[in-house]
Amino acid sequence: MLELLRRRRSIRKFQSRPVAAETQQQLIEAVLRSPSSRGRNPWEFIVVDDPALLTKLAACKRHGSAFLADASLAVVVAADPRKSDVWIEDCAIAAIILQLTAASLGLGSCWAQIRLRDHDDNISAEDYIRRLLGLPEELRVEAVVGIGFPAEEKPGHPAASLLSGQVHHNFFGMGR
């Protein structure tokens, strides 16, 4: 796992080749196995692989979502806040499980934050996605993860770039 984390990077450029149905099923199984607080599983996942929908999804917010147009698929991570008061954390855990699983399968991915972001001056990114994909009003959209075969290569972050000073031992301000 540590070696995977050393190599993993956000990928925003994808080859135009589909992700096989079997691989999609592995990704789905991974998110469904994600841990959630008290096992409440408040999340819902919308897998989008239709190119026309991906293009529309890429316009969900002003900045930081255009890469979705070229992804082979995207997974919208949403939740019902009535099921858990920590739905945001549960969605974030599921999203990173999805990204790590994608990396383990040779795929690239990138997260697009949706909650608290605007589509334009009149509508939130969340409402835009809700309308586009027919989500029920009670669901909140946390993020969209774009996935596909990488069309760019990025080296992992070097160990020297890690913020080791932000790790404390037993008490704040006490390094190792």
Position 112 in a domain? yes
Contact 150, 70 (CB under 8 A): no
Q: Tens digits of per-residue pLDDT, 76-104?
A: 999 999 999 999 999 999 999 999 999 99
Position 173 in a domain? no
DSSP 80-103: -TTT-TTHHHHHHHHHHHHHHHHH
Question: Which CATH number do you get for residue 35?
Answer: 3.40.109.10
Position 153 in a domain? yes
**What domain range is 54 assigned to?**
2-166
Residue 23: closest CA among 100, 101, 85: 101
Q: Tens digits of per-residue pLDDT, 37-53?
A: 999 999 999 999 999 99
Determine the pLDDT at residue 133: 98
Position 176 in a domain? no
Would you place residue 176 in the very low, low, confident or very high pLDDT band (cuts 50, 70, 90)? low
Domain count along the chain:
1
